[in-house]
Structure 1
Amino acid sequence: MIDKLEFFIALARERHFGRAAEESGISQPSLSAAIRQLEDQLGVVLVVRGSRFQGLTPEGQRVLEWARRIVGDARTMREEMRAAKTGLSGHIRLAAIPTALAMIPRLTEPFQAKHPDVTFSVVSRNSLQVLSQLDNFEIDAGITYLDNEPLGRVTSVPLYAEHYTLVTAEGTPFADREAVTWKEMNGVRLCLLTPDMQNRRIINQHLAEAGVTVKPTLESNSMVVLLSHVGTGQWASIMPRNVAKSFGFAKQIRMIPIIEPEASHIVGLVATHREPFTPLVSALLYQARSLSAADLV
């Protein structure tokens, strides 16, 4: 039953029998047969079928909720028994919003110092993808904003607060200022993250509140791309202060606080809410809680 539920979760995620089979490491006929057997066992139709996958039935949507819960509990049990036998080991899959990537070593470095047999993989995702991948068991935990858009049913631990700066080259407008206002961003040639990023939506919101219409001349989902364009002197950007500092700018780049208002948003670790957590996730949440509260001011 557990295997069939895992196949069903993969199908709901991929929305395609072939891709779900490939993801699950089985043939497409085997996956289709497993889904049929699951439907027979439960006595309901789970999938709307035609020439291709057309979605889940209402019963399928409900079974998907149960499947996620049951598969999650089964995985937790297996990991807990392994940890009891051999100590904490394994692999943690972590997804983070782009503005948080530079901050991850503050979590992973002390964690691996305590648990050297645990490895990590880290990917960059937007905030909606972080939550979706948590739901679909594609990641174990995520790092995203906690206080701006709905998170759903997750456990969260605050890690730090973002404060915003104008990042610009020396010799450009505002480069000699100690602070600038959101309203003064009107007319600045900006490069910003793409609109699917929550950081961009936050910046749009603060600019709109100041009466400024956002018209970036360059967009990217990569902070490195934005920073390289700022370095040309032809663009400026609005970035969290901790992100800008983490790149170790040369002297010709300035970071100027943006005030009126001095906005901040909390970024933290999120994990699917369940009791008990897997030993790995439990240890990661414990490590996150041990980080300095001074970062939240």
Structure 2
Amino acid sequence: MDIKQLRFLVALDETRHFGQAAERCHVTQPTLSMRLRNLEDELGVELVQRGQRFEGFTAAGQRILAWARSLLAAEAGLLAEAAACRGQMIGTLRLGVVPLSGFDPMRLIASFSAAYPQLRFQLFALSSEEILERLGRNQLDLGLSYLERLDRQHFTALELAETRMGLLHDRRHFDFAGAALSWESLAELPLGLLSSEMHFRQSIDHGFRSSGLSPQPWLETDAVHQLLQAVGQGLCCSILPLHHGLGELDANLCLTPIANAQTLAPLGLIMRRSEPRSALAEACFAIAEANARPIDGLDHSIASSD
């Protein structure tokens, strides 16, 4: 077994196509197929369901695939650690971000890139639970997530800010007077919201319930771009974080603050405590600590939990 075989396996999972996986790995399709069969022979289990085309992975293949991803992540961490020992900070920082985090992740990436110009970045939109799971398995370097259920024994966190909410609407279709809106004023609007299992949506539901309201959303989706499309076409309004930058994407979009509206838990940058811990994670976490500032002059709590 060698690391290339594991790359072939992961590429096949990501492309779901033998030819595209071979192209991504810069080998011929027969070479990729032969190396995967060699891997199956060595492990003594069938990994890939084959027909005239790729049909998926076997149950054993799914389990082996998870290990392959962990080993590839460990290899990437090893190479980054070796570079750090040589005084270089290179490689790819893997950052997991909850949808509608209320903190623009590009602010973090810009500061990391300014300090270490050779860094590359991978962003993954994940739930809070998925971020913690992948951090624990070293499949992410850092996570931008809510701190409500954080296990402080296994993770350290830098609290960035509370996430305040506003109503996103297209001013060509909806017009709201006043500096701030109330939950009551939103109850009768056609609303497009994230799916109910997401933390940000749960905070929205809590806000309505606290005012004795239970509106039914006109649209529910787990994709932020679909919310923006619906709002841009005047089909609905949406409730989004005030400081995410989404309202700046279109001159016709307006994000109006909602009074007494914030998420149930603060947002933070999270890093695993235990070794092996990526040198990239430690370096970038330190930059975030040094650069942490209150947003818009508000007195947000910014603290590292060690």
Partner of 2:44: 43
TM norm structure 1: 0.70
Partner of 2:266: 266
1:93-118: CA deviations, max 9, x gaps? 54645534862243234333433433
Give matches, 1:129-144, under 5 Å: 141-144=142-145
Q: Distance in 2 between matches of 1:107 and 1:207?
A: 29
Contact (CA 8 Å) 1:163, 1:241: kept in 2 or not?
yes
Partner of 2:224: 221
Q: Which amino acid aligns with 1:284?
A: C
Contact (CA 8 Å) 1:94, 1:142: kept in 2 or not?
yes
How far did residue 180 of structure 1 move?
Answer: 0.9
Contact (CA 8 Å) 2:218, 2:236: kept in 1 or not?
no
Q: Which amino acid aligns with 1:29?
A: P
Contact (CA 8 Å) 1:93, 1:121: kept in 2 or not?
yes
In structure 1, runs of 5+ residues without a counterpart are none
Report how many residues are paired.
Answer: 288
TM norm structure 2: 0.68
1:192-212: CA deviations, max 9, x gaps? 355499477336633773443
Give matches, 1:90-109, under 5 Å: 90-92=91-93, 94=95, 96-97=97-98, 99-100=100-101, 103-109=104-110
* Segment drifting more, 79-88 vs 172-181: 172-181
Contact (CA 8 Å) 1:244, 1:255: kept in 2 or not?
no
Cα gap change, 1:95 to 1:193, in 2 (>3 Å) = farther
How far did residue 37 of structure 1 move?
Answer: 0.9
Q: Which amino acid aligns with 2:280?
A: L
Partner of 1:162: 163
* Segment drifting more, 209-218 vs 83-92: 209-218
Cα gap change, 1:195 to 1:274, in 2 (>3 Å) = same
Q: Distance in 2 between matches of 1:50 and 1:201?
A: 42
Cα gap change, 1:2 to 1:22, in 2 (>3 Å) = same
Q: Which amino acid aligns with 1:221?
A: V
Contact (CA 8 Å) 1:75, 1:278: kept in 2 or not?
no
Cα gap change, 1:256 to 1:85, in 2 (>3 Å) = closer
User: Which of the two has greater helix per residue?
Assistant: 1
Q: Residue 51 of structure 1: SS of its match in structure 2?
A: coil
In structure 2, runs of 5+ residues without a counterpart are none
Q: Distance in 1 between matches of 2:47 and 2:156?
A: 29
* Segment drifting more, 37-46 vs 19-28: 19-28
Contact (CA 8 Å) 2:205, 2:214: kept in 1 or not?
no
How far did residue 80 of structure 1 move?
Answer: 1.4
1:19-46: CA deviations, max 9, x gaps? 3323323222221111111112222222
Partner of 2:284: 284
Cα gap change, 1:18 to 1:156, in 2 (>3 Å) = farther
Partner of 2:182: 180
Cα gap change, 1:107 to 1:55, in 2 (>3 Å) = same
